[in-house]
Amino acid sequence: MYLSLGNKKDIVSFKKALFNGLAPDKSLYYPIEVQKLSEDFWKDLQKMDNFSLALAVMKGYINEEIPEESLLDIIKKTLDFKFPTVLVDENIYSLELFHGPTLAFKDVGAKFMSACMDYFIRNENLNKKITVIVATSGDTGGAVANGFLGIDGVDVVILYPKGKVSEIQELQLTTLGSNVSALEVDGYFDKCQEMVKKTFVDKDLSEKLLTSANSINIARWLPQMLYYFIAYRDLNRRNSNLVVSVPSGNFGNLCAGMLAKKMGLPINHFVASTNENDTVPKFMKTGTYEKQKTISTITNAMDVGDPSNFVRILSLYNNNFNELKKELTAYKFSDEETILGIRELYHKSKYLLDPHGATAFLGLKKYLFNNPETTGLFLETAHPVKFLDTVENALNINIDIPQHILELKKKEKSKIQIREYKQLKSFLLSR
């Protein structure tokens, strides 16, 4: 069961939280109880494959609303690609999360959410069309579009900030057609996200079945725990102090990792690595949360001045700032520092980083400098080809482009340009 963080008397099922996206008061849903994993789970972890591991982690959050056999099928559709941990420097590993269909970590949450929704639509004969609406700073939109493409009874509407996504990201958003529509917003990601939230409390849209596919949706957020468990199993570092650095924008990914720790996963410490949008690094110094105006950077997926999921992190620690500080450190890095990070690891190990992974690498290195007796893991959240110009210019090399991305370049973009919420509203009412 899930409660609204704004009204803890508002308690709903997994299915209700999935289809609602947000609570009626615009707050995020949050599990009533953090599921603790059994001693048998930890004893058997090294023998588990990805599917049995994921089933054990996730089933407590579904509360038998999806039968175990069907949930296992959903998990198999979700985790149908690899999650390798790669040694890139002394005692530093990269967790590669870009081997899915859209070359980004968000494939996990998008595939899980779309498969859950498809299950309920097919098995409960929902006879009204559902509109999945999503704001993206780059990778979320492509992953969601791919996950929901062609699912009967579902329309997908993607809002993305004009000129703030990479060329390949935009192609992934705007070339699918079918049940996917792309709206290019004149503004930053925060504006897109605020528009999405506004649709859920707009009485004129109340007859529409709207849900969000951002990480504000519990079905997008929760399954991101899984690759933390997979990496821990694969590293087999039971007696080491494991530190994990996460490139952080809307803070859903990091929040999922911290939830995994609360479930018992023995991660010693987390590092939130941000760009110049340093709302959380400032908070971790002062204890005062002040949202900021968004700044454009080369790590566009982290260009978020008011990260939605940070309220969930605070809830994990009962809003106790001192307890949170024991387990989270946050750093910011400039574009120039990020470029140097890409160059450093390439020249040292011939390992290619995308700008977001480079930020996480820098955050991990900075933390390990004062904490050397640890194993470090950073999340490489997107394939470098998604930020082709930045990486190639940083290293003065040419990167091989996967064939399916070359095919994308041949397609024509289809998008609708909007500036204001009323244009989004008009579009949704016309569907």
Q: What is the DSSP string of 162-219?
A: TT-S-HHHHHHHHS--TTEEEEEESS-HHHHHHHHHHHTT-GGGTTSEEEE-STTSHH
* Residues 6+ positions from 130 with CB-CB distance below 8 Å: 19, 117, 121, 153, 154, 155, 209, 210, 211
Which residue among 9, 26, 47, 106 is the active-site one?
Answer: 106
Does the residue 166 lie in any domain? no
> Which residue, among 342, 356, 357, has the nearest Cα to 396 in the 3D structure?
342
Indicate left, alpha or beta for 208 from its phi (over 0: left) and psi (-120 to 50: alpha). beta
- Contact between residue 155 and residue 165 where contact means Cβ atoms under 8 Å apart: no
What single-letter DSSP state applies at residue 78? H
Neighbours of 370 (CB within 10 A): 7
AA letter at 34: V
Query: What SS3 class is residue 271?
Result: strand
Query: What token pair was written down for 384?
Result: 């470098």
Residue-level pLDDT at 237: 65
| 110 contacts 222 by C-beta, under 8 angstroms | no
* E runs forming strands in 279-408: 328-332, 375-380
In a domain, residue 383? The reply is yes
Residue 386 tokens read as 């998604």
Interior/surface letters 196-208, b for 16+ CB within 10 angstroms, e for the rest: bbebbebeebeeb
Q: Would you say residue 53 lies in a domain?
A: no
To 10 degrees, what angle do helices 252-262 and 226-235 make? 60
Q: Where are the beta strands (DSSP E) in 29-76?
A: 29-31
List alpha helices for 240-354, DSSP H.
Answer: 252-262, 279-286, 310-316, 321-327, 335-349
* Annotation marks residue 106 as catalytic: yes
Give kind and range of the element (H or E) at residue 87.
strand 85-89
Would 113 be classed as within a structural domain?
Answer: no
Decide: 143 and 112 in contact? Cβ < 8 Å: no
Burial call 289-312: b when 16+ CB within 10 Å, e when fewer: eeeeebebbbbbbbbbbbbbbbbb
Antiparallel, parallel or unpaired: β 2-4 and 29-31: antiparallel
The amino acid sitting at 209 is L
Q: Which two tokens stand for residue 101?
A: 């269909």
pTM: 0.90
Instruction: Examine residue 242 and state whether it is found in any structural domain, yes or no.
Output: yes
Residue 369 lies in a domain: yes
Write out the residue range of the structural domain in which residue 90 sits.
80-104+221-395
CA atoms within 13 A on the CB side of 12: 19
295 belongs to a structural domain: yes
Q: Which candidate, 298, 234, 204, places its Cα nearest to that of 95?
A: 234
Taking the alpha carbons of 307, 312, 314, 316 in that order, is the dihedral positive or negative? negative
Find the farthest-apart pair of alpha carbons in the chain and give their distance in angstroms, rounded: 59
322 inside domain: yes
The total number of structural domains in the chain stands at 1
Structure tokens at 168: 């390949």
pLDDT in the model for residue 68: 96
* CA 225 to chain CA mean position, Å: 10
CA torsion angle for 407, 188, 131, 251 (degrees, to 10)?
90
What is the full per-residue pLDDT of the chain (431 aa) written as tens digits?
A: 999 999 989 999 999 999 888 888 889 999 999 999 999 999 999 999 999 999 999 999 998 899 999 999 999 999 999 999 999 998 899 999 999 998 999 999 999 999 998 899 888 766 678 888 988 877 778 888 888 888 888 899 999 999 888 888 899 889 888 899 999 999 988 899 899 989 988 889 887 778 877 788 999 999 999 999 999 999 986 657 899 999 999 999 999 999 999 999 999 999 999 999 999 999 999 999 999 998 999 998 899 999 999 999 999 999 999 999 999 999 999 999 999 999 999 999 999 999 999 999 999 999 999 988 889 999 999 999 989 999 999 999 999 888 888 888 889 999 999 999 999 999 999 88
Distance CA 376, CA 92 (A): 5
Residue (of 140, 84, 174) closest to 302 by Cα position: 140
- Residues in the chain, total: 431
Residue 416: strand pairing partners: 183
Distance CA 155, CA 145 (A): 10
CATH code assigned at 263: 3.40.50.1100
